[in-house]
Structure 1
Amino acid sequence: MPKAYVFTRSGGPEVEAFIDQEVPVPGPGELLVAVRAAGVNPVDAKLRHGYTRPGSTPPEFPAVFGSEVAGTVEAVGPGTDGFAVGDAVFGNPLTGGYAEYTLLPVAVTAHKPEGLPFIEAAVLPVAAATAYDGLRQLDLAPGSTLVITGAGGGVGVAAVQLARHFGVRVIGTSSAAKKDFVESLGAVHVPSGPGIAERVRAAAPDGVDAVYDLVGGDDLRAVAALLPDRSRLISAGGKLLAVELGGAAVVRARNAEVLGEVARLAVSGAFRTYVTQTFPLADAAAALRAVEGGHTRGKIVIEVAA
């Protein structure tokens, strides 16, 4: 039977396990997809710890890990016009991504361009789409100066590159160890941690126009103080704190149109996905530990099938 990597209850790594899984049956508006690759994200571990996305219900256990996949359509449900068996697709799964088979709703599924490998398509629905949604929300004019905290992580890597593609000057904060990497993306690097506000001010003596936060905490509080207009502050890392400071959470579009657009941008060379490490499905635990540690560069992917 097909394998899936799950968490059996809320908790730490001790609640993770492989299970044999029946092949899901697609309902209306759903596609059965043979998973080729699944992106690994910090939210995967948060969900295991008991976090519930706003507007969502708690998971039924065992719950399959994974919020983004790429693969090929094996079967289609009613109301899935535009998709056919054999199509290469990517999107946000209904039934988890660390699995050999999953269900994708057509509302958040897009066709994979031929020039985009499955491994790269698998990391677009969460990190790249979040980066794109946030930048569209800020709607900065070319020449503006944007601070991106956590610029070396999965969302940050895409956000820096897309902002530069849109003509925005970027100051990217991260640990000192990621300095060369962040600068290679096109950002001015500023080390995170105590004193970050002074370092950003020195890097942008004419001021900053917006902040895209991906880390929350003290760094968010410090750089928010540099903004004359707090409505130009958005966060995907410390949403509640951002609102408390006068900003807002990143508003996710979560639709196929955005997925198609980020795929087009990736194929055009506007940004690279920077998949820095891959693991087989059998090593899903190691992949999740690598992301859960919080110090990865770029994206990590589980290769489910060659």
Structure 2
Amino acid sequence: MHAIRLHAFGPAENLTYEKTDDPEPGPGQVRIAVAAAGVHLLDTAVRQGIQGPLPRLPDLPTIPGREVAGTVESLGPGTDPSWLGKQVVVHLGFTPGGYAELAVADAARLHEIPANLDAAQAVAMIGTGRTTVGILNFAEVTPDTVAIVPAAAGGIGTLVVQYVKHAGGTVIGLAGGPEKTAQVARNGADLALDYKDPGWADTAREFLDARGLRGTVLFDGVGGPAARAALDLLGPGGQHLIFGWSADGIGGDPGPQLLDEAERTRRGLTQVEVLGPPMMRRAGGDNPIRTLELAALDLAARSVLRPAVHRFPLTEAATAHHTLETRGTTGKVVLEP
């Protein structure tokens, strides 16, 4: 098979397209002919040698990628034969191997792809979608919700905008540049603003004041100046849900976004860092991650959520990484062999 391999940590150019041995499925595993492989911001950090939230860095050389979708083309010993030939999507967990024409996965992790999704959309839902559902579990979204969504053209932001609008709420979506801002408007945001415009917060405040509204929830995976300005748009009782600090890169510090207890009390705000154990506890069930995956795929199957996908050929993995790191992508970045 052909795959993307990383022989040394460093820049995106270190990702090379090579011919390598086909992986063999072990007991209880399947081998998937990959139609789409997800690219995550964490992948770009690992490529540089940054461990981030992973238990350890992979041994080199490695095939990056932890999200794949495609067709089950062979089975390992003891694997349920009904999986053979099915269209599936799977998150590989902490085991990489997705940026390839073939990938091995545990059958217990598999999901069949809903009929109304293609492989790339399914990959978006199994990773970005499950995280989005986990975030939304912290917000009671109703017609009275007034959501502020930084990075509203991104993978999570796109889905949050759709979910709030499906519930009848109001959305102010932020994005960088006119093309992304236009996409946010097409996605249904009531007000789409370019956070590079120094007057965006004033425009948002005028929009809210004209309707007698204040923000009720800030979905913040960005941090930085945009998030700090958006905090001032929340009214008493508002929620600030923190799930990333992409403005500061992987391993960024949520500190600048967090108000001290006295200030939170004065404003009547709640600030919650939702990733990790809090999200898993809120998801519930014996397998919280699978609970979130099932919920995400169900929302997509019912067309409540429709992921945005930015597609690259597998051969252009280095370009995909570079474009993601420089904020040139919209939606979920996916490699297609």
Verify same fold: TM over 0.5.
Answer: yes
Cα pair 2:215 2:238 within 8 Å, conserved: no
Structure 1 segment 193-272 matched on structure 2, within 5 A:
193=196, 194-205=198-209, 206-227=213-234, 228-229=236-237, 232-238=240-246, 240-241=253-254, 244-245=258-259, 246-251=271-276, 253=280, 255-272=289-306
Cα pair 1:92 1:105 within 8 Å, conserved: no
The gaps in structure 1 that reach 5 residues or longer are none
After TM superposition, give the deviation of residue 172 of structure 1 in Å.
0.6
CA distance in 2, matches of 1:105, 1:221: 42
CA distance in 1, matches of 2:71, 2:217: 39
Structure 1 segment 84-99 matched on structure 2, within 5 A:
84-93=83-92, 94-99=95-100
Structure 1 segment 1-306 matched on structure 2, within 5 A:
2-27=1-26, 30-77=29-76, 84-93=83-92, 94-106=95-107, 108-177=109-178, 178-187=180-189, 188-193=191-196, 194-205=198-209, 206-227=213-234, 228-229=236-237, 232-238=240-246, 240-241=253-254, 244-245=258-259, 246-251=271-276, 253=280, 255-276=289-310, 278-304=311-337
Change over 3 Å in CA distance of 1:16–1:265 after alignment to 2: same
Partner SS, residue 121 of structure 1: helix
CA distance in 1, matches of 2:164, 2:128: 14
After TM superposition, give the deviation of residue 64 of structure 1 in Å.
1.6
- 1:295 counterpart letter in structure 2: G
The gaps in structure 2 that reach 5 residues or longer are 247-251, 260-270, 281-287
Across the two proteins, how many residue pairs are aligned to each other?
302
After TM superposition, give the deviation of residue 191 of structure 1 in Å.
2.3
After TM superposition, give the deviation of residue 240 of structure 1 in Å.
3.5
Partner SS, residue 104 of structure 1: strand
Identity value in percent: 31
Q: Which residue of 1 aligns with 2:249?
A: none
Cα pair 1:145 1:208 within 8 Å, conserved: yes
CA distance in 2, matches of 1:108, 1:162: 26
Cα pair 2:71 2:87 within 8 Å, conserved: yes
After TM superposition, give the deviation of residue 147 of structure 1 in Å.
0.8
Q: What is the CA RMSD across the aligned residues, in angstroms?
A: 2.7
CA distance in 1, matches of 2:108, 2:52: 18
Partner SS, residue 222 of structure 1: helix
Cα pair 1:281 1:302 within 8 Å, conserved: yes
- 2:205 counterpart letter in structure 1: R
Cα pair 2:43 2:65 within 8 Å, conserved: yes
Normalising by structure 2, we get a TM-score of 0.79
Change over 3 Å in CA distance of 1:87–1:296 after alignment to 2: same
Cα pair 1:109 1:259 within 8 Å, conserved: no
- 2:314 counterpart letter in structure 1: L
Cα pair 2:115 2:301 within 8 Å, conserved: no
CA distance in 1, matches of 2:82, 2:289: 16
CA distance in 2, matches of 1:153, 1:11: 25
Cα pair 2:75 2:81 within 8 Å, conserved: no
Which is higher, the Rg of structure 1 or of structure 2?
2
After TM superposition, give the deviation of residue 114 of structure 1 in Å.
2.7
**Deviations 1:91-114, CA, capped at 9 Å, x for gaps:** 212333110111224454311123
Partner SS, residue 137 of structure 2: helix
CA distance in 1, matches of 2:303, 2:322: 30
Cα pair 1:196 1:222 within 8 Å, conserved: no
